[in-house]
């Protein structure tokens, strides 16, 4: 597989470049996309590094894919989905949680105490197993509440109908129609979430205290009223890895650093592009390393 490659920054810059390119391309009609893509800044930067032979997931997909799965458009679609799902959304979730922690500092000590309790039962955090992170129910709840108010997109569950379909109320959806679900509107409906405008970091922790609901309402849990990871047999298969990945990052940050908004500052406002929601890249808050005896590795 021959590809344009910048060994110094390709892995880091790929996701942001794709999103910027996506937003720009959607401003133009489809028939112009081929031309516009050639004049994007990311294309100029990539061409400066020439071509090289590389073994990667794209070459693997070409080797094992069926004939109808090897078209350039199909391969590009699959690779973008995998890359964005595994990197960009997890990064955004972690940043949203940090913004919410600085905006609601009263939760931090409870989260630290929970982490300390798991260290007491499961040993040093570097030796934790997946089951150890599953014990962080307060942190899991805080992450889910942060995601509820700051989902990666307001629309999800995108589908294109392969045949006509009639809904229960008689509405006819025609073949070829593009349909999707209003994620934000559904999960923030008062019939689904009480006081939806209120940030309650332990909302889902309290829900898990109900009888027979201890395994429900987790960050990676899907349901008909929470579609951030999809639902049913097509739910995101990487959601469990994403939850673990974000927790690993947050545990270290929460235990090793103090966070505080600047005086008079409020939570950095989200940015919106089409239906997508992004944490503000220009947001600022104060960070101070905690005392040596309080940091994670020495507990």
Q: Would you list which residues are annotated within the binding site for heme?
A: 236
CB of 259 closer than 8 Å to CB of 287: yes
DSSP 8-state assignment for residue 223? B
C-beta of residue 132 within 8 angstroms of C-beta of residue 122: yes
User: How far apart (Å, rounded) are the C-alpha atoms in residues 165 and 171?
Assistant: 8
3-state secondary structure of 45: helix
Q: Strands 172-173 and 165-166: what pairing? A: antiparallel
For residues 145 and 200, the answer to whether their CB atoms sit within 8 Å is yes
Residues annotated within a binding site: 236
Angle formed at CA 107 by CA 127 and CA 187, multiple of 5 degrees: 95
Cβ neighbors of 102 (< 8 A, separation 6 or more) are 259, 260, 261, 267, 285
Helix (H) or strand (E) holding 51: strand 51-53
């Amino acid at each position: 597989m021959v590809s344009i490659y910048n060994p110094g920054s390709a892995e880091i810059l790929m996701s942001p470049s794709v999103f910027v390119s996506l937003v720009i391309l959607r401003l133009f009609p489809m028939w112009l996309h081929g031309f516009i893509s050639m004049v994007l800044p990311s294309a100029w930067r990539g061409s400066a590094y020439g071509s090289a032979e590389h073994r990667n997931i794209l070459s693997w997909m070409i080797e094992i894919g069926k004939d109808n799965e090897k078209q350039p458009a199909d391969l590009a679609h699959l690779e973008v989905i995998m890359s964005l799902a595994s990197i960009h959304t997890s990064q955004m979730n972690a940043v949203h949680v940090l913004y919410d922690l600085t905006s609601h500092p009263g939760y931090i000590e409870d989260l630290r105490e929970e982490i300390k309790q798991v260290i007491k039962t499961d040993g040093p955090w570097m030796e934790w197993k997946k089951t150890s992170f599953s014990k962080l129910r307060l942190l899991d709840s805080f992450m889910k509440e942060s995601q509820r108010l700051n989902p990666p997109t307001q629309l999800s569950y995108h589908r294109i109908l392969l045949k006509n379909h009639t809904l229960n109320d008689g509405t006819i959806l025609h073949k070829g129609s593009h349909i999707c679900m209003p994620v934000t509107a559904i999960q923030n409906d008062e019939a689904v979430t009480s006081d939806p405008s209120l940030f309650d970091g332990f909302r889902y922790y309290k829900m898990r205290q109900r009888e027979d609901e201890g395994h429900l309402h987790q960050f990676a849990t899907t349901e008909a009223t929470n579609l951030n990871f999809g639902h049913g047999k097509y739910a995101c298969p990487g959601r469990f890895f994403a939850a673990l990945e974000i927790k690993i990052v947050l545990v270290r940050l929460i235990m090793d650093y103090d966070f505080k908004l600047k005086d008079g500052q409020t939570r950095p406002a989200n940015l919106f592009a089409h239906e997508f929601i992004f944490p503000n890249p220009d947001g600022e808050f104060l960070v101070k390393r905690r005392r040596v005896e309080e940091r994670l590795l020495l507990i």
